[in-house]
A and B are shown apart, each in its own frame.
Chain A
Amino acid sequence: MRKGRIGKALAALVATVGLTAGVAHAEKDPIKVGVLHSLSGTMAISETTLKDTMLMLIEEQNEQGGLLGRKLKPVVVDPASDWPLFAEKARELLAKKKVDVIFGSWTSVSRKSVLPVVEELNGLMFYPVQYEGEESSENIFYTGAAPNQQSVPAVDYLMNEVGVERWVLEGTDYVFPRTTNKILKQYLVDHGVAEADIRINYTPFGHSDWQSEVSRIKEFGSQGKKTAVVSTINGDANVPFYKELANQDVSAEDIPVIAMSVGEQELSGIDTEPLVGHMAAWNYFMSVPTKRNIQFIRQWHDHIGDKGRVTNDPMEAHYLGFNMWVKAVQQAGTTDVDAVKDAIIGVSVPNLTGGIATMMPNHHITKPVLIGEIQPDGQFSVVWETPGTVAGDAWSDYLPGSKDLIADWRNPLSCGNYNVETGECSGQNVE
């Protein structure tokens, strides 16, 4: 008996000391921000820029006095463009390094491999790249575009404003282009486009021999109906693709190409003179001359020490995600994941290109959709934009099986794929 009481008292003492020590600790301890981007391998070309952006944002926040009176400390890891390694590094960040939030990932396959880990360990992750949709996770915040914020408006623009009747859906052979093209094909067929007027073609990652495909696009487009190419070609295969378009003299007036993942960064290595007029659909372009954007560009140039470096859409997505997280932490008064998760829904921050981005209950944000045409200097000039912002849709309205699903992470629903027909929540994340 006596022994037990002593034991209990001791335990209580230890606990109290531990707790106060913990509190004291927390006050001077920095808030840890995990940065999960490939710094080597095929994706390094795109992802190192995002790592640098994140470091810049953290630095700026610290200059303004940090967050909740604490400094922010970046924890950078390199998953090396190796998808399983993304899961391992995410686990390392959450379990070992105890980060409060993760910003990271680029390809859908890397996100899909991180997803179960952040859910298991109840982490918080911000994903900054446009993607194919059909997903909603309690722990992931999608600050890039969903298909209804990018590819669908792009096709609408071509159909209504340019009068395109014949379509080439050209993509790299993996999940993002295949899902996007599935949605787009259904959308086109729903809008009365004949199957014979849709050509779908896939090429491997890093494809460099484009001559026959470009020649076939020319052939397909010479049948008397206005033709356009919707490109979901990813990564560095774009450079030889555009070079070949230029060499074979495919002009944007004849057969415009609208790209879903070519931004300023990808164009910076190409002579864009012959590509003038080809298009891209994004939610941000470096060329948009708002004061906020120009300040951001200057800050970026100062940070990176190179005036030639461009900014792009995923950088803005990180900017938005980071600012939303900061605001949510300030509102919640803590970095506790559950508190932040609740606080962030409804948080609004200004976009770089004007307008306001708001975090929706489905963990997607509202964004303006911009269509830009390539200029001789490698920048885009906006030729069309949505009148207001568009809320990201986790589940496509055009695919059977996904039309009836909605995501809402507020209580009491708190479900990523609630079926409005059956009134059920299947609890599964992926299709």
Chain B
Amino acid sequence: MSKEIPITSPHGRRAGAESLAGLLILLLGLLLAPPAHAAPFSDQVQALHTSSSADKAAAVKALGATGHPRAQKVLQAMLDGRLFHQVDGGTVVFAEKGGDGYQYRLTDAATGSDLGTAERWGVRRVKINNRLRSEVRQTLAALRLQNPEPEARLTAAEDLIGELDPDNTALVERRLTEESDPAVRAALEAAVGLARLDREDPQARAGAIALLDGSLYAPVRSRLETLAEEDPAPEVRKEAAAMLDGIHTRLAFFDGAETLFFGLSLGSVLMLAAMGLAITFGVMGVINMAHGELIMIGAYTTYVVQQLMPGHIGWSLAVAIPAAFLVSGAFGVAMERSVIRFLYGRPLETLLATFGISLILQQLVRSVFTALNRPVETPAWMSGSLQINPAFSLTFNRLYILIFALAVFFALLLVLKRTSLGLKIRAVTQNRQMARALGVRSNWVDALTFGLGSGIAGVAGVALSQLTNVGPNLGQAYIVDSFLVVVLGGVGNLWGTLVGGLSLGVINKLLEPMAGAVLAKVLLLGLIILFIQRRPRGLFPQRGRAAEG
């Protein structure tokens, strides 16, 4: 409130009615100002320097009540861990790490004036724990309910659900009359409804339940559950139970949708990992144990690209995708030219040779990048989640990877079906002699095919770098899954990889709630064994003479 009061008006020189009005507002403001205002703002900031959490919580509340323009700043700094106090004197300050990393640059928190630098041990952080943090967040939320951005208002409103005390209920109710954004309205209604459930009058409680209509917020549901069982008034119990029924039906639907999404996203990861293998193993028949390491190289390429373009994390993935394709593809071509081409038709020898290569590649990465995992940053647009409603949200990283996996799949399909390289690949794999007789340079096609499969593995590595750790062992974690998907889908069939990968993901997610992550994997392996017993050639068996051989 007090921040509205123009103590020293910039337009002070204007005479007449305006200044009179200003004076009136000033007087009115002084009358309405809370008594806490009597203490200067700097004293209130200083009150945050106390070891008692209760005193600190009170100081936070008081700071919020001042409405001082710097109050939000101070509270936010406290939340961010940037609020310190000096060991000598105890002044509450903002502290930023200075040049050499051991010194701090200090600014007075209350006034913003520069206080020079201090040694690391010259300042102590104003301690904040989770309880205080939620206190600060609520205070900030109340200050921010007026924010012009609906998204900011929504988080502010959500922070207040189940946390309203009589002081700010009135504030939220007032806000509710002005709010036009439906999502923010729903959150505010849930907050107000929950607060009104504490009222004595059963009529008022029943009315409050109506306000909660179908709300999917978790605190609403748990509160309704206790209400349906324990409320003294039977009509309130009935009302709560009826409302709960509706909520449960909606929740069950969204639970199902969530499981499906989790399954598809796990499936898309499996599919990405397996797609390169669908070419090298499925099409060429090479049991490539180094496939996982080609994925790993793609992930490391992402890391290197990010190192090369600091400050452009958002764009780094767009650069990393072609880069990883080229790097892993080059490794693939080199492998094919140096080792694999001598071993065509001898699957066991290829298996051993590529296993050796996989170990060499792992060691190579260890020597170049050390054995430690490399931090690959997630761009802002891939963090967080797409909130459909309070009970259902899609995490962006998984969502984008699902879309990406499908895009890679169709691109690969196009290459194989619509380009001359694809035609040659299919010709060589179906009948090498005939293809050669027709003038196809089969050696060259072999190398390119292997390179294509390896490049796709590299692209998968870019996606995986966003989900898992980029380290020398990354490849091993995915090699078994990749072979499973290809074998299940039917060797030599790209559609099989799509269907196999996605269905493995979904089945895994259906089993997981019942059996836990460890057992679900075991069960899944058992199911696959049974399936392969019945259909040894997978979901989409290859037909024709080539397959019989």
Contacts and interface: CB of A to CB of B under 8 A. Distances in A.
A215 B258 contact: yes
Given A289-B121, A294-B121, A211 B101 contact: no
Interface string A189-226: 00000000000011110111101110110100111100
Interface stretch (B41-49, B126-134, B314-322, B323-331): B126-134
B253 interface: no
Given A44-B371, A236-B469, 14 more contacts: A161-B129, A201-B516, A212-B259, A215-B262, A221-B218, A223-B222, A224-B225, A239-B373, A249-B393, A253-B130, A289-B124, A291-B121, A381-B125, A381-B128
B131 to A, nearest CB: 7
28 contacts: A39-B371, A40-B366, A40-B371, A42-B473, A45-B372, A201-B516, A202-B517, A204-B518, A206-B473, A207-B517, A209-B269, A209-B467, A211-B262, A212-B512, A218-B218, A222-B221, A223-B225, A240-B469, A248-B393, A252-B130, A253-B133, A269-B373, A269-B375, A271-B377, A277-B133, A375-B81, A383-B128, A384-B129
A48 interface: yes
A137 B80 CA distance: 45
Contacts of A41: 371, 473
Interface string B457-489: 000000000011101010001000000000000
A208 B474 CA distance: 11
A224 B130 CA distance: 18
A334 interface: no
Contact of B517 (A161, A203, A222): A203
B467 A240 contact: yes
B121 A211 contact: no
Contacts of B377: 271
A274 B378 CA distance: 13
A347 interface: no
Interface string A244-260: 10111100110010000
Contact of B518 (A203, A221, A253, A384): A203
Interface string A219-241: 00111100000000000100110
A202 B130 contact: no
A316 interface: no
Closest 3 pairs between A and B when the two form their complex, measured CB to CB: A224-B222, A222-B218, A44-B371
Contact of B513 (A202, A212, A274, A277): A212
A227 to B, nearest CB: 11
Contacts of A383: 127-129
Given A208-B467, A212-B509, A247 B383 contact: yes
A376 interface: yes
Contacts of A239: 373, 468-469
Interface in B360-417: 366, 370-375, 377-378, 383-385, 393, 395-398
Interface string B52-90: 000000000000000000000000000111000000000
A173 B516 CA distance: 11
B102 interface: yes
B102 A208 contact: no
Given A40-B366, A212-B512, A236-B373, A290 B121 contact: yes
A202 B373 contact: no
A430 to B, nearest CB: 24
Contact of B134 (A253, A274, A381): A253
A268 B373 CA distance: 10
B517 A213 contact: yes
A39 B133 CA distance: 40
A313 B133 CA distance: 26
Interface of A: 39-42, 44-45, 48, 161-162, 173, 201-204, 206-209, 211-213, 215-216, 218, 221-224, 236, 239-240, 243-244, 246-249, 252-253, 256, 268-271, 274, 276-277, 289-291, 294, 298, 307, 373, 375-377, 381-384
A287 to B, nearest CB: 8
B223 interface: yes
A45 B373 CA distance: 7
A228 to B, nearest CB: 10
* B134, B366, B371, B383, most chain A CB atoms within 10 A: B371
A247 B128 CA distance: 23
A204 B521 contact: yes
Contacts of A270: 375
Nearest to B362: A40
Given A202-B518, A253-B134, A209 B393 contact: no
A5 B187 CA distance: 103
Contacts of A39: 371
A252 B132 CA distance: 12
Contacts of B469: 206, 208, 236, 239-240, 269
Contacts of B223: 224
A246 B382 CA distance: 12
Nearest to B136: A253
A212 B377 CA distance: 23
B376 to A, nearest CB: 8
Given A209-B269, A212-B262, A246-B383, A224 B375 contact: no
Interface in B102-119: 102
Nearest to A301: B101
A247 B384 contact: yes
A42 B120 CA distance: 35
Nearest to B226: A224
Contacts of A207: 517
Contacts of B471: 45, 236
A409 B475 CA distance: 47
B371 A48 contact: yes
Interface string B406-430: 0000000000000000000000000
Nearest to A208: B468
Contacts of B397: 243, 247
Contacts of A243: 378, 397, 467
Given A208-B477, A247-B396, A294-B120, A162 B518 contact: no
Contacts of B396: 247
